Structure 1
Amino acid sequence: MIPPVANRFVAGEGPAGALEHVRQLNGRDVKAIVNLLGEHYDDREDVDADAREYRELVEDIARSDLEATISVKPTQIGLDLGESVFRENLEEIVETAADRGVFVWIDMEDHTTTDATLDAYEELARAYGGGERSAETRSSSDRWADGGVGVCVQANLKRTRRDVERLADVPGKVRFVKGAYDEPSEIAYTDGEAVNREYEALLEFAFEQFEDGIAVGSHDPAMIERAIELHEEHGTDFEIQMLMGVRNDAQFELAEEYEVYQYVPYGARWKSYFYRRAMERKENLRFALRAVLGR
């Protein structure tokens, strides 16, 4: 059972708790990206079990009529066992989701997974990204309601500008984040100011060149404000994505005017995820300490 101290960041150990959290979010005009916690599996049974749970989660979302997508980590569904295992499981998840009208995000992990992740995304987005209705006949609010595929890119990687140029005409959605992995300096920007400059430059390019929507995955008020300015300048559809438990009040406030998604993790492997969230920001750590100390 997840202790109360972790409930701020993790929506339970099973899908029922996660979907109830989504229902509460939807009541406040915030949508959800549901993620089953897990990564770097080296056992095929674990891989296939999580892939099966994702397919079942898609069915649950479709039946419940919730405003929710799912997000999958490549090493969770087989990339460490081989690219063919990853592709097989991912395609089955995306095919199930496309049939049920549920959008699928492919998370990005460390730099060793980037090529395999982007290759899989591009192939599946071209196969499943468009849906039956064209972009012209869909409103921004239901643009992704008939399925589709998205991927995450990380501003701290020096290769990302080239990757984003490649993805500009792919019929899917791209989530822009600063990057949370400790990457070597020869391939990544390690200075915070440099990462911020790169993130802003990527947003500027995307709002000018992308036609299928942009996801701004950031808690940084300056970057969110810049995205809003670019949206007003170019008219490009975008959404704001934040983590469960981080700047919740800001999420609800932004949702009054913009499309906001909360990343909602759940599952038995919650301890390591909670530890990362608690250590990321002083505010999170203070929250955890107050809860433990009963203050």
Structure 2
Amino acid sequence: MLPPVARRFVAGESAASVLDHARRENDRGVGVICNLLGEHHRERASADADTVAYERLVADIGASDLRACISVKPSQLGLSVDEDVFRANLARVVAAGADHGVFVWVDMEDHTTVDATLDTFEEYVRDNDGGMGLCLQSNLRRTAGDLERLADCPGKVRLVKGAYDPPESVAYGEQSQVDDAYREDLAFMFREFDDGVAVGSHDPEMLTLAADLHAKHGTPYEVQMLMGVRERAQYDLAGACDVWQYAPYGTSWPAYFWRRVRERKGNALFALRAIAGG
């Protein structure tokens, strides 16, 4: 059972719980990106099982009136087993999304997975004429070139600063460098992307920049934030632009929960107060 202390960051352990969460967030004007927790599967059986779970979730979303979609991790669908396993399982999820009218996001993991993830996404999004989105990380030096490659693709790109810790040979080492790269990448996307821009950030400066770029270029955009992080800002922004909340669920919640807690002092204080009952 999911303890109360984790409920700020995790929507529950079951698909029903994340759909209930999506309904509540929809009532506040926020869409929900549902993510089944679990990654780095080393056996095909585990990757296949999560693929089936996503197919069922997509069918449930498609049968509802919810403003919801899904986001999958490559290593969850089998990239850590074999690239062909990932490609086969992602094809199944994408086909389910197309059948039920549900958008499918593909998360980006560490820098060693970028080529396989990008190649597979580009092939499938072109074959399906959209209906998919991909996450790119501005802390990687290669991302400006990857954005140029995807500029004429259907589908969407979610731009984030990057949560992994790649070596400096492939990534910017200073936060100021990452921020500068994010600004440049965002400006490029608003100039060149026709299908819209997904701004994956909690940084008020970057959100202001996105609004300014939208006013300048007219490019449609959405803001994506994590469940449990700056939720009041999410609801406030929903009156001005399209806002989506990334909501994880599933029994593999402990590692994700403690990662969120360690990221910010405020999250750690929240967890400590909850554990202490204060």
Mapped pair 1:249 → 2:238: no
Q: Given residue 54 of structure 1, which amino acid in structure 2 is its aligned partner?
A: Y
Mapped pair 1:62 → 2:62: yes
Return the offset for 1:107: 0.2
Q: Which residue of 1 aligns with 2:113?
A: 113
Return the offset for 1:182: 0.7
Q: Which residue of 2 aligns with 1:134?
A: none
Q: Which residue of 2 aligns with 1:235?
A: 218
Mapped pair 1:187 → 2:206: no
Distance in 2, matches of 1:170 and 1:193, equals 30
Q: Which residue of 2 aligns with 1:165?
A: 148
Could you tell me the percent identity over the aligned residues? 57
Return the offset for 1:123: 0.7
Which string of whole-angstrom CA distances, capped at 9 and with x for unpartnered residues, describes residues 40-85 of structure 1? 0001111100000000000010111200010000000000111110
Matched ranges for 1:256-295 at <5 A: 256-295=239-278
Distance in 1, matches of 2:155 and 2:63, equals 24
Return the offset for 1:190: 1.6
Q: Which residue of 2 aligns with 1:142?
A: none
Q: Given residue 69 of structure 2, which amino acid in structure 1 is its aligned partner?
A: T
Q: Which residue of 1 aligns with 2:85?
A: 85
Distance in 1, matches of 2:86 and 2:192, equals 30
Q: Which residue of 2 aligns with 1:128?
A: 128
How many residue pairs end up in the alignment? Answer: 278
Equivalent of residue 189 in structure 2, options 206, 209, 215: 206
Distance in 2, matches of 1:237 and 1:283, equals 32
Distance in 1, matches of 2:121 and 2:110, equals 16
Return the offset for 1:172: 1.1
Which string of whole-angstrom CA distances, capped at 9 and with x for unpartnered residues, describes residues 75-97 of structure 1? 00000111110000000100111
Distance in 1, matches of 2:179 and 2:90, equals 32
Distance in 2, matches of 1:129 and 1:21, equals 30
Return the offset for 1:129: 3.1
Which string of whole-angstrom CA distances, capped at 9 and with x for unpartnered residues, describes residues 99-124 of structure 1? 11000000000001000000111011
Q: Which residue of 1 aligns with 2:13?
A: 13
Q: Which residue of 2 aligns with 1:4?
A: 4
Q: Given residue 79 of structure 1, which amino acid in structure 2 is its aligned partner?
A: L
Q: Which residue of 2 aligns with 1:99?
A: 99
Provide the secondary structure at the position in 2 that maps to 1:79.
Answer: coil
Distance in 2, matches of 1:106 and 1:168, equals 17
Return the offset for 1:159: 0.5
Q: Which runs of 5+ in 1 are unaligned?
A: 131-147
Which string of whole-angstrom CA distances, capped at 9 and with x for unpartnered residues, describes residues 164-209 of structure 1? 1000001010000000001101110121111000000000000000
Mapped pair 1:217 → 2:200: yes
Mapped pair 1:24 → 2:7: no
Provide the secondary structure at the position in 1 that maps to 2:75.
Answer: helix
Q: Given residue 41 of structure 1, which amino acid in structure 2 is its aligned partner?
A: H
Distance in 2, matches of 1:27 and 1:123, equals 36
